[in-house]
A and B are shown apart, each in its own frame.
Chain A
């Protein structure tokens, strides 16, 4: 990255060469640690002594503390306390725990613990602890750039290559990679006669803390957050670099910057860059050349290394070097002689390079200077497309991205200040989520189908697999859906299994499983202000990807809710389902919060008696601590039906009353018209009656 872009990166998201070292532990933090010292339980058997720091086992984003396991009293163990910003590789913990301990430090136990960050009780946060058995021997190099005592070539095969290749076989059989093979993560072992021990690799996201020397050119070109788990080929390359460091007695380029190391590797090839003029025996040169080949298809595999360890001679492979151009390309005071270094240079000076990408100069240079017709054609196509679509800064950015892909297809995707390998895109999104600029870069890449373009430019068969592209189509589709439960958050959780929920509502709670979500919200409700909506986009997306079966219908209803009450009802449904399936049985503080959140639903019933009954049931549910009871109290279908039907009938009756009152007020009875009409009838009737009576009387008189 350029100086400018490096400056723009927040400290926490640029753990490159410098950040690969453990951060200095502040005195204040040490004091807090000792002040709040206590034995922290992890599960039933493991206890972590927060007073007993073990800095020799510290990792860049995880501090080490002494730990003990009551099942194995004599065992020396340590625990790494991981951060939420750079969480451990949770999905790798269980598969790696079953590894043979002789040449690797596998995780022994893990889980979330209550960790005192300050001196007060209120400063306790949830952290993720991973416990390891202490490895035998000393760490090879406390600092990745530190000089070490060279290891004799004849010792390397049995002490390093054979045990580490076996370890990598174990990783590969589990579909995992180590991605932390470097001198400061290797232990010397019990004795000089025995194999060395590879350190842990799970305390941070894969590839994040690996020094760039141990990274392949494309991986080194990516930001640390954008390297990802990679493949076994990346581990083999790192092993090759480690062997070179052991042979040379330390980092061959201790003072060089990341950009310089990458430029050197591109220029002369990784083997020459790492080993320099070091003279090697032919026997050792063979695997080192194979492991440090820059073409991943040509690089030695674990099987090649097995054959070499078993004594088979394999022909040394020549390093792949990019073709030199016939003419030099001048840009920003630099001279470039091949497309790969040019692409690397352009990516370091983004804004001027973006203008260049739409100028047509690159196509001219490629056409006139490159012998590789295929690549020249790709660049011309990219240039033609770029000039058509380039409008404004974002158009220029897209044009440059396409041009960089055409100039250097295996390189990571580079977009403005962010560079990431394609397979690391989901992890990159998770790591840069709180950085608006970089998060937008990831979203832009997906929306503009840059991953698909990158895949089309690759030669290997895996990249041509349509299923690979489908993943990115799906992610772009999620980003296009703005309703809650989708968007970038959905991409984050769906494609990063095991990533903790990074919702601000559960910050500091290290929610790594769905069963931990409600307890985390309970703690928040108990300690913080419990008001407002009890979920956010992160929580809904997290539930959408972690719940089985997925609560699609509820999330759909939540997204489409047109009124606030429907939205509240859907949220309570969702949380109640989580409690029903994953517990815990009682959540007093959260239920009080949700109960108040649900009160408008009960208040919305029209009928006073039904409303009073719902509120009574709601209060009872709040006391019970059950979200399911809260849901039942406020979302009784029968009551709601009766309420609506009764209300409709009451409205009709009321309207009839209004009409009758209006009629009476308008003189319906007492009007002159009505009185006249009634008078006519009544007078006639009275007259007839009286006449009849008189006639009867006269008749009687006459008869008598």
Chain B
């Protein structure tokens, strides 16, 4: 323990355990800050909260299943899901932002469909993109390899086999064997 303290003193950094505790503490305070801001807002804007709570269920599902760093799936689905939920929220605001309006708005399947389809588009993007990127990068890799190998060949042509770090004689023997 004392040694750890001494090391921390020397490096000017806090000990690893302390740093972890500090990060956890910051996260907790961040969540508490959001809670302090959002809970009153949700209470004040309860009809909107209810509408969004229903239309943005796909985002909640994405959040639950998302194990990626930075919650990329949640963000992708969430942004589009939120955009798809906006017509329902606007419709609620249009009828006066009352609790009673919530059931009327939610009774419209078009709003459900808009919100969930938008979330589906987000899911689709997230699921289809890796395959597309893989193909793209495979093609890019092949093209780049050809270019690099051409440059290597040009260097060997100009400077001899020795430029590769192999002797010409060794290369000839290898070629014969090959």
Contact = CB atoms under 8 A, between A and B. Distances in A.
Say whether A associates with B: yes
Given A650-B163, A654-B152, A687-B80, A670 B73 contact: no
Contacts of A670: 134, 137-138, 140-141
Contacts, number: 120
A646 B126 CA distance: 49
Interface in A675-696: 675-676, 678-684, 686-688, 690-691, 694-695
B165 interface: yes
A669 B98 CA distance: 53
Given A650-B158, A650-B159, A695-B83, A684 B76 contact: yes
Interface in B27-51: none
Interface stretch (A442-450, A496-504, A658-666): A658-666
A653 B155 contact: yes
B79 A687 contact: yes
B72 A690 contact: no
Interface stretch (A8-16, A373-381, A478-486, A605-613): A605-613
B133 interface: yes
Contacts of B133: 675, 678-679, 682
A683 B129 contact: yes
Contacts of B126: 679, 683
Contact of B83 (A606, A680, A681, A690): A690
Contacts of B103: none
Nearest to B151: A657
Interface stretch (B1-9, B10-18, B104-112, B142-150): B142-150
Interface string B112-147: 000000100110011001100110011011001100
A566 B147 CA distance: 39
A680 B134 contact: no
A651 interface: yes
B148 A698 contact: no
Contact of A660 (B138, B148, B155): B148
Contacts of B152: 654, 657-658, 661
Contacts of A680: 68-70, 72
A210 B95 CA distance: 147
Nearest to A606: B159
A695 B162 CA distance: 62
Nearest to A670: B137
B72 A679 contact: yes
Contacts of A653: 151, 155
A655 interface: yes
B160 A691 contact: no
Contacts of A435: none
A660 B151 CA distance: 12
A119 interface: no
Interface residues of B, number: 45
A672 B76 CA distance: 19
Contacts of A690: 79-80, 83, 121
Contacts of B151: 653, 657
A654 B155 contact: yes
Interface residues of A, number: 40
Contacts of B26: none
A668 B137 CA distance: 9
Contacts of B164: 654, 658
B139 to A, nearest CB: 9
A676 B127 CA distance: 11
Nearest to A681: B72
Contacts of A669: 137, 140-141, 144
B176 interface: no
A254 B79 CA distance: 134
A675 B130 contact: yes
Interface in A233-284: none
Contacts of B137: 669-670, 674-675, 678
A653 B152 CA distance: 9
Contacts of A691: 79-80, 82-83
B86 interface: yes
A655 B165 contact: yes
B52 interface: no
Given A606-B163, A647-B163, A670-B137, A683 B155 contact: no
A682 B80 contact: no
B56 to A, nearest CB: 13
Nearest to B164: A654
A606 B162 contact: yes
B163 A688 contact: no
B116 to A, nearest CB: 15
Most A CB contacts (10 A, CB to CB) among B68, B75, B79, B155 go to B79
Contacts of B138: 670
A609 B87 CA distance: 73
A469 B146 CA distance: 76
Contacts of A684: 72, 75-76, 79
A119 B70 CA distance: 104
A339 B77 CA distance: 124
Contacts of A658: 152, 164
A683 B159 contact: no
A674 B125 CA distance: 17
A691 B130 CA distance: 21
Given A674-B137, A675-B137, A676-B130, A651 B163 contact: yes
B76 A683 contact: yes
Contacts of B144: 664, 669
Interface string A592-632: 00000000000000111100000000000000000000000
Contacts of B79: 684, 687-688, 690-691
A655 B76 CA distance: 41
A661 B145 contact: yes
A310 to B, nearest CB: 85
Given A606-B163, A646-B159, A691-B79, A698 B86 contact: yes
A599 to B, nearest CB: 16
A680 B160 CA distance: 45
Contacts of A688: 79
B83 A665 contact: no
A688 B121 CA distance: 12
Given A606-B162, A682-B133, A650 B68 contact: no
A682 B133 CA distance: 10
A471 B159 CA distance: 53
A664 B144 CA distance: 8
Contacts of B157: 608
B69 A664 contact: no
A220 to B, nearest CB: 64
22 contacts: A650-B158, A650-B159, A653-B155, A657-B151, A657-B152, A661-B149, A664-B141, A669-B144, A672-B130, A672-B134, A676-B68, A679-B126, A679-B130, A679-B133, A680-B70, A683-B126, A686-B76, A687-B77, A687-B79, A694-B80, A698-B87, A698-B90
3 pairs of A and B residues whose beta carbons are closest in the complex: A680-B72, A687-B76, A670-B137
Given A670-B137, A698-B87, 11 more contacts: A647-B159, A657-B151, A683-B72, A683-B129, A686-B76, A686-B125, A687-B76, A687-B77, A691-B80, A694-B83, A694-B118
Interface of A: 606-609, 646-647, 650-651, 653-655, 657-658, 660-661, 664-665, 668-670, 672, 674-676, 678-684, 686-688, 690-691, 694-695, 698, 702
Interface of B: 68-70, 72-73, 75-77, 79-80, 82-84, 86-87, 90, 118, 121-122, 125-126, 129-130, 133-134, 137-138, 140-141, 144-145, 148-149, 151-152, 155-160, 162-165
